[in-house]
A and B are shown apart, each in its own frame.
Chain A
């Protein structure tokens, strides 16, 4: 019943203040996301709606490998991206020695030229596809070579060779390579990118709201009054956490589902989306609890404001940043921003839309949440009977 009291009160408070809460935690960040998404649309590579590229291939090598590449570009799964023609908007030149370069380990300098009719953005995508193909091909050949170098009878080597070769021969029909090619092809639209950026922003706002609620409860003695009832500190902490968690989940879901209904982002599998929302909300909730337990009001608000600005800056300036130092700065930001884990998980969800791609993100968020929760519990036990 006590837990129910907390949940019901949070729910009632949410319902009674729904307009203002939805405005602050849903409409405002969604509006900002849509606005920045619209304004930056041209800076992002379009994905699934990308028109088929007319490509002319000049094969100066005329080797088995160069023909393999041409076959790959002509394969079934590439047809909705590339169409090989006599005259094309894009010209791929396979230089002489391309096949040899796989064997001697030197880079195969395939040229992708964009004609006046073509788009540089799509040309880059085409170059990325070719690069990825080369990587895959090179990797497979290296495996093949390492088998060749193994000690064993010629029959065994032949058997292994045939086995691997058979697999490589299947390369164009293999789902693995298909998935990876889709990986290259798919990149976030500006709306998707900014939906994640402003989701983080919204999450920070919600965390700030929860933390300030905690401080207020202590300042106006609501906390004292609740603790004067037959309730332990741990019970209070847990009940408060659960009710806050529900609050965070509600606003997270409102945000992502609004984008989903608009068809602009979070359009992958609903079950995966809900899984991320549930885990990410948990992380947000325990973080809020952690901050309000360990920091005073002024310090925590300053830190949160800085984090909000940092993550917004990183999100909004992502495209220009990704061009600095060969993407090094963007990589650093990707890895070390406080919301990196959340951003990466949502990005993987949007790009790949499968459990494998978000599994690590979800697991990491869960582990971090559990660790933070344990630290909080220790802190609550130690603070028992103290003035705060």
Chain B
């Protein structure tokens, strides 16, 4: 049983179903990606998981507690980074952190220590006394994250935390996620409609569209859902012209194209073996400069499964 168990969650607004029988499980220490286009139901699911909204059907169990019955016990363990920048604009970064620290029961020297650590972590020590309203978008986003981690939550839920920020801030947030996950075994639920972010950070992924599950599992499983083919890119020089024909005749090779010194292969995952390919190249006096295996991107997976782009 996972740390977070979402079972058959359905949410309706009037007659419109925004979440339809969603189930997922997140293990402790996992970085879990929740992806889908805008309006897919990601934020609704997060609001239900954090006890902000009630579902019409189904249940959310976190660390053995039911969110509807014992919300406070669950809330203590969660740090939420909302999609919007949810900060008090008219007070300083320090005051914002102090406010959220108090809400989670931190006080005195420990609170001060945690605030200083958080400010250092997000690179805002110098700006601690400045009004948040004067901050750039990236700085606000970083502070938005810091407010959620002050109490060292067991579960960190980040709802599109990198929307509209500069690369420097984005990298800082990624670095922080990896660090906190590695050092403190924090379970992270990361929602985004940027596939490359999720692909880079997450181990397990839930793809949602129009309130329904599109795909769920680890990255490999999900990618294998759309194709049994892998792509191999070869950089070879000094080879004889008939080498391409020889490669095409190998077992498991479905396609072989030569393009500006680059050989692109489409191979069957089950039938293809690398060793015969290397032998063929060697037999044709070819010298390998590089060899790359390519999987389909999550963007391609989403396109294949839903027929539309993620950012439509």
Interface residues of A (CB under 8 A from B): 1-2, 4-5, 8-9, 12-13, 16-17, 219-222, 224-232, 384-387
Total cross-chain contacts (CB, 8 A): 87
Q: A387 and B53: CB pair below 8 A?
A: yes
**Given A5-B99, A5-B102, A228-B80, is A13 in contact with B91 using a C-beta cutoff of 8 Å?**
yes
B102 touches A224 (CB 8 A): no
Contact of B50 among A8, A228, A384 (CB under 8 A): A228
Contact of A220 among B78, B84, B103 (CB under 8 A): B84
Complex-state Cα separation, A1 to B82, whole angstroms: 23
With A and B bound together, what is the CA distance between A9 and B98 in angstroms? 9
A sample of 19 more A-B contacts (CB under 8 A), given A221-B84, A224-B80, A385-B68, is A16-B91, A219-B84, A220-B86, A221-B86, A224-B50, A225-B147, A225-B148, A226-B103, A227-B51, A228-B50, A228-B51, A228-B52, A228-B75, A229-B103, A230-B75, A231-B75, A385-B52, A385-B54, A386-B53
In the complex formed, the residue of B with least CB distance to A5 is B102
Contact B95 A9 (CB under 8 A): yes
Residue in A closest to B111 when the chains form the complex, CB atoms: A1
Q: Which residues of B contact A385 (CB under 8 A)?
A: 51-54, 68
Measured CB to CB, the closest approach of chain B to A239, in angstroms, equals: 10
Check B90 against A230 for contact (C-beta < 8 Å).
no
**Is B112 an interface residue when CB atoms closer than 8 A count as contact?**
no
Cβ-based interface call for B83 (8 A): yes
Evaluate contact between A224 and B82: CB separation under 8 angstroms.
Answer: yes
Measured CB to CB, the residues of B under 8 A from A are 13, 47, 50-54, 68, 72, 75-76, 78, 80, 82-88, 90-92, 95, 98-100, 102-105, 107, 131, 147-148
| Shortest Cβ distance from A217 into B: residue | B86
Question: A225: which of B72, B76, B82 is its contact (CB, 8 Å)?
Answer: B82
Chain B residue nearest to A388 (CB atoms) is B53
Smallest Cβ-Cβ distance to A14: which chain B residue: B90
Q: Which of B47, B87, B98, B102 contacts A222 (CB 8 A)?
A: B87
Complex-state Cα separation, A66 to B91, whole angstroms: 72
Residues in B with CB closer than 8 Å to A1 are 102, 105, 107
For B104, list chain A residues within 8 Å (CB): 229-230
The CA-CA distance from A41 to B13 in the complex, in Å, is 58
Interchain Cβ contacts under 8 Å between A and B, 30 examples: A1-B102, A1-B105, A4-B102, A5-B103, A8-B102, A9-B88, A12-B91, A16-B90, A16-B92, A220-B84, A221-B82, A222-B86, A222-B87, A224-B50, A224-B80, A225-B80, A227-B51, A227-B52, A228-B52, A228-B80, A229-B75, A230-B75, A230-B76, A230-B105, A231-B72, A232-B72, A384-B54, A385-B53, A385-B68, A386-B53
Given A1-B105, A13-B90, A16-B91, verify A229-B84 contact (CB < 8 Å).
no
A229 contacts B100, C-beta separation under 8 Å:
yes
Q: In the complex, what distance in Å separates the CA atom of A386 from the CA atom of B75? A: 17
The answer for the CA separation of A279 and B13 in the assembled complex, in Å, is: 40
Q: What is the CB-to-nearest-CB distance from A24 to chain B, in angstroms, rounded to a whole number? A: 13
Contact B88 A228 (CB under 8 A): no
* A5 proximity list for chain B (CB < 8 A): 98-99, 102-103
Which residue of A has the minimal Cβ distance to B68? A385
| A8 touching B98 in the complex, CB below 8 Å, given contacts A13-B90, A224-B82, A229-B75 | yes
In the assembled complex, the Cα of A37 lies from the Cα of B248 at a distance in Å of 97
CA distance A250 to B51 in the complex (A): 35
Q: Which residues of A contact B76 (CB under 8 A)?
A: 230
A384 to B92, CA, bound (A): 31
Inter-chain contact A230/B72, CB cutoff 8 Å:
yes
